[in-house]
Structure 1
Amino acid sequence: MNPERKIVLFNKPYDVLCQFTDEQDRSVLKDFIDIPGVYAAGRLDRDSEGLLILTNDGKLQSKLADPRHKTSKTYWVQVDGEISDDAILQLSRGVKLKDGLTRPAKAQRMQEPTVWPRNPPVRFRKNIPTSWLSLTITEGKNRQVRRMTAAVGFPTLRLIRYRIGDWTLDGLAPGEYRCL
Structure 2
Amino acid sequence: MELVRFNKPYGVLSQFTPEGRWQGLRDYLDLPGFYAAGRLDADSEGLLLLTSNGALQAHIADPRHKMEKTYWAQVEGIPSAQALQQLAQGVLLNDGPTRPARARLLPAEPPLAPRNPPIRQRQHIPTAWLELVIREGRNRQVRRMTAAVGHPTLRLVRVAIGPYQLGDLAPGAWARAD
- Normalised by the size of structure 2, how large is the TM-score? 0.95
Paired with 1:66 and 1:101, the residues of 2 have a C-alpha distance of 19
Distance in 1, matches of 2:165 and 2:146, equals 22
SS of the residue 2:145 aligns to: helix
Matching residue within 42, 47, 57 for 2:43: 47
| Structure 1 spans left out of the alignment, 5+ residues | none
Contact 1:65–1:140 (CA<8 Å) still a contact in 2?
no
**Corresponding residue for residue 114 of structure 1:** 111
Specify the code of the residue in structure 1 equivalent to 2:58: S
CA gap 1:25/1:119 in 2 versus in 1, 3 angstroms: closer
Amino acid at match of 1:118: R
The worse-fitting range, judged by mean Cα deviation, of 53-62 and 78-87 is 53-62
One-letter amino acid of the counterpart of residue 44, structure 1: L
Provide the C-alpha distance between the structure 2 equivalents of 1:62 and 1:102, rounded to a whole number of angstroms: 22
Instruction: Supply the RMSD in Å over aligned alpha carbons.
Output: 1.1
Shift of 1:148: 0.4
Superposition pairs for residues 119-158 of structure 1, below 5 Å? 119-158=116-155
Give the superposition deviation at 1:124: 1.0
Contact 1:74 1:162 in 2 (8 A): yes
Asked if 2 retains the 8 angstrom alpha-carbon contact of 1:74 and 1:161, the reply is yes
The aligned counterpart of 1:91 is 87
Indicate the residue corresponding to 1:26 in structure 2: 22
**Contact kept in structure 1, 2:63 and 2:137, CA below 8 Å:** yes
After TM superposition, give the deviation of residue 67 of structure 1 in Å: 1.2
Distance in 2 (CA, whole Å) between partners of 1:174 and 1:69 is 28
Q: Which amino acid aligns with 2:134?
A: I
Structure 2 unmatched runs, 5+: none
In the TM superposition, residue 119 of structure 1 has moved relative to its aligned partner by 1.0
- The 3-state SS of whatever aligns with 1:115 is coil
Distance 1:48 1:162 in 2: 11
Question: What whole-Å deviation, never above 9, does each CA across 1:27-73 have from its counterpart, x for those lacking one?
Answer: 11001110110100011101000000000112221221111111000
Q: Residues 174, 109 of structure 1: CA spacing in aligned structure 2 closer, same or farther, 3 A cutoff?
A: same
What is the Cα deviation at residue 25 of structure 1?
A: 6.5
Matched position secondary structure for 2:26: helix
Instruction: Report percent identity of matched pairs.
Output: 60
